[in-house]
Structure 1
Amino acid sequence: MDAKLSPNEQIGLSGRVLSIILGTVLLGIAPLLDMLAGRTPWGVALTLPLWVSAIATALLGFWVVPQLRRLKMGQFIREDGPQAHLKKAGTPTMGGLFVVPTGVAIALLWSGFTPNVVAVAALTLAYGFIGWLDDWQILRRKSNKGISPRLKLMLQIGFGALFCLWAMWSGQSTNITGLALPLGLTLPLGFLFYPLAWFVLVAESNATNLTDGLDGLAGGTGAIALFGLAVLVSPTSPDLMVFCACMAGSFLGFLVHNHNPARVFMGDTGALAMGGALAAVAILTQNLLGLLILSGIFFAETLSVIAQVSYYKATKDSNGVGKRLFKMAPLHHHLELTGWSEIQVVARFYLVGGLLALICIALYL
């Protein structure tokens, strides 16, 4: 690292380099995968949807981010969080406002508005709307508390129920009531598939939302998971492959503005939509088990929160004060407080996410 650079400039360079490495890997692998699968990159493939969405989102951000700053859409930071995060107060949030619609619009156009892509896009935008409500309330109240957890959960459950009802009664989604296993096997679940799918929609969106706590963390790990899911569904659902490629590209483009130090945060607007998109595609392609593997990072983050809360309640003393299992939850904050820098946490989570994607693809394809 150049010794002449200030600490802030060194952090910026590290975050920028990290996002460039991730983008180069995903954008470079896509043409190779298309070639191996016999797909032309300019047709129904991974490459162009991924590249076009990444470039479009990155360019759009250069206009949107200053507008968010001008409108004073600054993030409020938890006072009980890592003290290093307090300097991020005032950074524009609601970045999902330009990330999600860009990826969805390109996916709809590229896929020719197939019914499955329209349904997945609708669910993604619906969950993005829930996130927007939460972000807007945070800004309006000038605190880090948005809509009530109960209202947020009820909206997630409601939109998830509508999606599952569509999947149940639509002619586009017949024979999805099974769980795809490695080696081409399928575990039939019958009607039990739909309650499971409903749960996954809510759980996945909350898991990705919990992961959105460090600069570039949710955007990068989300791009990796969406790209892995695109590869996973490519043999059977080329239209949903295109959707995942577009969303992965859009979150990659977002990293141009979200890498450390971030100039804009994703907010619930983007994080809830990301989880909804992943879950909806996995449901329509029977890849719920594959999604669990791809979402290992999000799953670990969620488990850390559940374990923290459960342990605290179980160890309460006579004064109502319990012990903490982690220094702070979710997991990425615990790692920060043990001495890891943000860059180290993000880089290692990217590496784990990439390894999980490779494992999932190797098991299924």
Structure 2
Amino acid sequence: MNAKSLSTEKLINPSGKALLIFLICVLTIGAIAFESAGRSPNQQWGLLLFPLLGCATISALLGFWVIPILNKLKTGQVVQEDGPQSHLKKAGTPTMGGIFFVTVAIAASLIWVKLTNGTSISPELIAVCLLTFGYSFIGWIDDWQVLRRKSNKGISPRMKLTLQVLFGVVFTLWLLWYQFPSITDIPLPGELHLALGWFFLPLALFVLTAESNATNLTDGVDGLAAGTGAIALLGLGVIISPSHGDLTIFCACLSGGCLGFLVHNCNPATVFMGDTGSLALGGALAAVGLTSNNLWALFVVSGIFFVESLSVIAQVTYYKATKTPEGKGKRLFKMAPLHHHFELSGWGETQVVGVFYLVNIMLVAIAYWLH
């Protein structure tokens, strides 16, 4: 293979570290450009950039201490045998990585807001942090059961959904009490509005559970959920910054936490976030979108997660619709979620991740333009 072929191969299938460097540069440049334009909350320089890079640094350094502990506790991932065969070699990689980057982001956002504002922390930020921690706790229970049973089955789907709804009900009822009736008036593109009244409650519960489960489904390839989560969080933070400075800082902190986690999770991963991290990411995005009343922007920046979830629904529906009397049905994709379909179609892991990053960056740009 000549030098030209080698360079082409690296471009098509970049290394995990190359993707990490690319993502850090994109998010850093984006934060600097946004703040240079004078659009940052309270017009203070660094309210996006410093939390982003600070949490990335702390999360990355903390990982060097936490991952060996996870290894000693034998938290090795149990890989599904019916998944892509290339993933079988990942068995034994420690999971539950969400415990360190989610914790860093929550703590840092509360401390940063207190230091910069010099006043009390807003109830909105406290509520979003509690919801994020709650969903992370649900994920931890699921991860722990997987490890305890030494199978890829944790708590039952019904129990997981019940806990998600329970935390969601508490959060949504507080939100309705705190912001009613303004929170029930949903802005849409074209200066349209959707007045929901108390129907906001079921919508909010759907958004919380759907977003967290969709993010969970996306966590199937090294660096995919953490990278797309970092992009979506920072993008949403930028969009809500004119009116919700505290939540913007939270988004920047969790985005930075994801970047720090990617130091250890980029291909080849030395740790997985597990449900402890993925449910927290989805819950955080949904909570910020609901609290800031920016559901349309949330939907657009979360487009990757939506498509991943939709691919699973479509696969199951098509299989059942085409099932023969012998009990065999046809598959719409080679495997769902969608990233596995691309893998089985010959794409490398980093190629899938790189393309998904680019698509998510474009979705954030579209959401910002529509906003």
Scaled to the shorter chain, the TM-score interval is over 0.9
Out of 166, 173, 183, the position equivalent to 1:165 is 173
Out of 327, 330, 334, the position equivalent to 1:327 is 334
Out of 63, 69, 72, the position equivalent to 1:70 is 72
Instruction: Give CA-to-partner distance per residue, 1:228-268, whole Å, 9 cap, x none.
Output: 10011001111111111111110011100000000000100
Instruction: Give CA-to-partner distance per residue, 1:84-108, whole Å, 9 cap, x none.
Output: 0000000010000101110011011
Instruction: Give CA-to-partner distance per residue, 1:24-76, whole Å, 9 cap, x none.
Output: 11012212211212548966721111111111101101111111112111000
Query: Is the contact between residue 216 and residue 255 of structure 1 (CA under 8 Å) also seen in structure 2?
Result: yes
Query: What is the rounded CA distance, in whole Å, between the counterparts of 1:206 and 1:252 in structure 2?
Result: 21
**Structure 1 residues 246 and 184 mapped into 2: Cα distance closer, same or farther (>3 Å)?**
farther
Query: What is the rounded CA distance, in whole Å, between the counterparts of 1:2 and 1:356 in structure 2?
Result: 37
Out of 46, 49, 59, the position equivalent to 2:48 is 46
Alignment of 1:343 onto 2:350: yes
Query: What is the rounded CA distance, in whole Å, between the counterparts of 1:2 and 1:190 in structure 2?
Result: 65
Quote the offset at 1:320 in angstroms.
1.5
Query: Is the contact between residue 201 and residue 279 of structure 1 (CA under 8 Å) also seen in structure 2?
Result: yes
1:20 corresponds to: 21
**Structure 1 residues 151 and 309 mapped into 2: Cα distance closer, same or farther (>3 Å)?**
same
Query: Is the contact between residue 11 and residue 260 of structure 1 (CA under 8 Å) also seen in structure 2?
Result: no
Structure 1: gaps of 5 or more residues: none
Query: Is the contact between residue 127 and residue 272 of structure 1 (CA under 8 Å) also seen in structure 2?
Result: yes
* Matched-pair identity in %: 60
Out of 262, 285, 291, the position equivalent to 2:292 is 285
Query: What is the rounded CA distance, in whole Å, between the counterparts of 2:20 and 2:327 in structure 1?
Result: 44
Quote the offset at 1:194 in angstroms.
2.1
Quote the offset at 1:289 in angstroms.
1.2
Quote the offset at 1:181 in angstroms.
2.3
Alignment of 1:215 onto 2:217: no
Query: Is the contact between residue 39 and residue 242 of structure 2 (CA under 8 Å) also seen in structure 1?
Result: no
Quote the offset at 1:280 in angstroms.
0.4
Report the AA paired with residue 142 of structure 1: K
Structure 2: gaps of 5 or more residues: 115-120
Query: Is the contact between residue 314 and residue 322 of structure 1 (CA under 8 Å) also seen in structure 2?
Result: yes
Query: Is the contact between residue 14 and residue 350 of structure 2 (CA under 8 Å) also seen in structure 1?
Result: no
Structure 1 ranges of 4+ moved more than 6 A: 9-13
TM-score of the aligned structures, taking structure 2 as reference length: 0.92
TM-score of the aligned structures, taking structure 1 as reference length: 0.94
2:182 counterpart SS class: coil
Query: What is the rounded CA distance, in whole Å, between the counterparts of 1:181 and 1:213 in structure 2?
Result: 32
Alignment of 1:120 onto 2:128: yes
Quote the offset at 1:286 in angstroms.
1.1
**Structure 1 residues 127 and 173 mapped into 2: Cα distance closer, same or farther (>3 Å)?**
farther
Quote the offset at 1:319 in angstroms.
1.6
Quote the offset at 1:125 in angstroms.
0.4
Query: Is the contact between residue 229 and residue 258 of structure 2 (CA under 8 Å) also seen in structure 1?
Result: yes
Instruction: Give CA-to-partner distance per residue, 1:88-141, whole Å, 9 cap, x none.
Output: 000010000101110011011122331100000000000000100010001011
Instruction: Give CA-to-partner distance per residue, 1:178-199, whole Å, 9 cap, x none.
Output: 2222355533322222211111
Out of 119, 140, 150, the position equivalent to 2:148 is 140
2:183 counterpart SS class: coil
Query: What is the rounded CA distance, in whole Å, between the counterparts of 2:185 and 2:277 in structure 1?
Result: 29
**Structure 1 residues 70 and 173 mapped into 2: Cα distance closer, same or farther (>3 Å)?**
farther
2:189 corresponds to: 182
2:370 corresponds to: 363
1:176 counterpart SS class: helix
| Matched residues, number | 359
Quote the offset at 1:174 in angstroms.
5.5
RMSD over aligned Cα atoms: 2.2
Query: What is the rounded CA distance, in whole Å, between the counterparts of 2:112 and 2:188 in structure 1?
Result: 29
Out of 263, 275, 292, the position equivalent to 2:282 is 275
**Structure 1 residues 93 and 105 mapped into 2: Cα distance closer, same or farther (>3 Å)?**
same
Query: Is the contact between residue 123 and residue 163 of structure 1 (CA under 8 Å) also seen in structure 2?
Result: yes
Query: What is the rounded CA distance, in whole Å, between the counterparts of 2:227 and 2:112 in structure 1?
Result: 23
1:247 corresponds to: 254
Query: What is the rounded CA distance, in whole Å, between the counterparts of 1:174 and 1:230 in structure 2?
Result: 23
2:107 corresponds to: 105
Out of 51, 56, 59, the position equivalent to 2:58 is 56
Query: Is the contact between residue 220 and residue 252 of structure 1 (CA under 8 Å) also seen in structure 2?
Result: yes
